[in-house]
Chains A and B, each alone.
Chain A
């Protein structure tokens, strides 16, 4: 069983929802990423989404765009991201890590090489924002050959007939994008999220993580009531933006945000 599946089924039997924080690898400096990942786990993260920085993050709002720019100032590459995961695995072998990014860096490395290197580094799953299942077959084959999970997106606009196909291509979980927009934009509406989740669950048993628009403990708790996973990104990345040179402050603030979400979700 994959590490993601194991975590998800454990949480389910505990009656809990997964807390899935996102940070961009290499932001603000490459040396801090592994420390931040451990800090997120200490604060209560169940799965970590690690962003692969990209020069043209089309689906991201300004907060994550700037995170990519900060990382790219240090020339953080896909290989560097994989090294960060290896570094994290030196002391943590239980928390799943899902890479999230755009396709071109993976194309450049080559699908087969990427999948085998990612598996070797201890990555558990990959979410490629600009790769819908229709175009994803070749990468999916390589992922499956390396026992990696593929996480695909479902959006508010996704039609019912596509939902099934997306769930079938996904393993580990599917990522429901709760708002029409880029990361860090609007606040989500829990009622409409719940309605869409009902449609998804009607078609598949795969766990559903919900992201975009979760900003604080209150929204995290509200989403946890209806979803299998709560994905939080921009609000964490923002703590980096406002404390660039103060690594202790970044760690402390991230810890506070994530642990307050954890408490609210489990209450």
Chain B
């Protein structure tokens, strides 16, 4: 049976008003609407501009170091004793995570729109660092909003951003994590909309952000597909990626949506366990609602107040998720699962010891589920796990858990 997800169909996702089925859209205060419409128009032009695309791919090659390898994790595969596990090595990118693919793209947009000032929100600090990096490279002024709790647990990234010349603003309101950083970035943007470009770090926010961040991140999946064909002569059986807002996951999944044989698993943070209520798993345990400019699965209480979330990894500690994932979930095209803090920490240690690769705590969630999944599959089957970032930034957190002061 031919796939339902033809290129023609996927062209309509999102539709002209930014909707992925019943999700997505543009739920913002009026002040931002004209800027979003302008950004959409500009992006739709540049998307088809060969020069823009060439510049983007040149930067990805020469500055980021792409393509990132697709690495066969042989010892991990042997240890698990199931499907072959490949790792897509986004941890080897300049600045240490997939985030930079997107900031390169959006900084080019900012340049084309002539905006001299850039703002961003960040959780783990990876997106903040990736934004500060491209801002330094283009000589743009840069302010990064970061929840005060995250400023503490990701102190090293805060320092990196400052070295790169960015101003880091700790956000004390609300739960003092990623969602509050995003609120504050929106507040800044509303105030300085004339001269400021907001580089959103994931496939969330109002249209056109979920679409354009996805487009920039699909380089991950395009490469992985070709690399898998080159190495194995066929497509993988399953893809696994962690989901905070969902940008590394959609980047890997997107080029495979029309390949019905390829299963897709998005891994959310189960924190202390889904039943504890202390987690960050809106797709597994939330309901549709509206936050930060789009309609999507959310964690909120009976009164519609956004819930506090918990995850050991700051980058997954977010109560919403990109609207395209909500669509993929309801379509049944992707499956969403959750991994607890403890399981992620175990996977972190396993990968470090077995493969000599120290993964980010976010990515460790994907590793943990990838190992579970591989065990249930045959030895001749293939899984690609997106290793979205490296764990250098998490040394402090891990050491603290181990009771060590570094």
Contacts and interface: CB of A to CB of B under 8 A. Distances in A.
> Are chains A and B native binding partners rather than an unrelated pairing?
yes
Interface of A: 54-62, 65, 69, 72, 75, 77-79, 102-109, 129-132, 134-135, 152-159, 162, 166, 177, 180-182, 185
Given A78-B303, A104-B290, A132-B26, A61 B33 contact: no
Contact of A105 (B25, B33, B305): B305
Contacts of B26: 132, 134-135
A55 B174 contact: yes
A58 B186 contact: yes
Nearest to A157: B34
A168 B25 CA distance: 21
Contacts of B290: 102-104, 107, 130
A72 B301 CA distance: 12
B306 A134 contact: no
B187 A152 contact: no
A263 B174 CA distance: 38
Contacts of B45: none
Contacts of B31: 59, 153, 155-157, 177, 180
Contacts of A102: 290
A59 B190 contact: yes
A62 B28 CA distance: 19
B173 A155 contact: no
Given A56-B306, A69-B173, A157-B33, 16 more contacts: A54-B305, A55-B306, A56-B179, A56-B292, A61-B187, A72-B305, A78-B303, A79-B303, A108-B300, A130-B290, A131-B27, A132-B33, A134-B25, A135-B26, A158-B30, A185-B191
Contacts of A106: 304
Given A103-B27, A182-B187, A56 B33 contact: no
Contacts of A75: 303
Nearest to B17: A134
A158 B34 contact: yes
B27 A135 contact: yes
B283 interface: no
Contacts of A185: 191
Tier of interface size on chain B:
35 or more
A155 B174 contact: no
15 contacts: A56-B179, A56-B291, A78-B304, A104-B290, A104-B298, A107-B290, A108-B289, A130-B29, A132-B29, A134-B26, A135-B26, A135-B27, A157-B33, A166-B30, A182-B187
B164 interface: no
Nearest 3 Cβ contacts at the A-B interface: A108-B304, A105-B304, A155-B31
Contacts of A79: 303
A57 B184 CA distance: 10
Given A103-B290, A158-B33, A180-B191, A130 B306 contact: no
B293 interface: yes
Contacts, number: 121
Nearest to A179: B191
A130 B206 CA distance: 11
A59 B29 contact: yes
A58 B292 contact: yes
A59 B27 contact: no
B29 A55 contact: no
A108 B186 CA distance: 23
Nearest to A102: B290
Given A75-B303, A105-B305, A181 B190 contact: yes
B167 interface: no
B397 interface: no
Contacts of A72: 305
B302 interface: yes
Interface string B289-317: 11111010010101111100000000000
A72 B300 CA distance: 14
B189 to A, nearest CB: 10
B151 to A, nearest CB: 18
Contact of A182 (B17, B25, B191): B191
B156 interface: no
A182 B189 CA distance: 10
B304 A155 contact: no
A266 B245 CA distance: 52
Interface string B9-36: 0000000010000000111111111110
A132 B28 contact: yes
B293 A59 contact: no
Most buried by B among A62, A65, A69, A75: A65
Nearest to A159: B34
B143 to A, nearest CB: 15
Contact of B183 (A58, A103, A132): A58
A82 to B, nearest CB: 12
B323 to A, nearest CB: 13
A207 to B, nearest CB: 17
Contact of B293 (A57, A60, A130): A130
Contacts of B293: 130
B193 interface: yes
Contact of A77 (B32, B191, B303): B303
A104 B298 CA distance: 10
Contacts of B305: 54-55, 72, 104-105
B190 A162 contact: no
B330 interface: no
B291 to A, nearest CB: 6
B400 interface: no
A129 B28 CA distance: 7
A196 to B, nearest CB: 12
B78 interface: no
B194 interface: yes
A108 B29 contact: no
Interface string B272-293: 0000000000000000111111
B290 to A, nearest CB: 5
A230 to B, nearest CB: 19
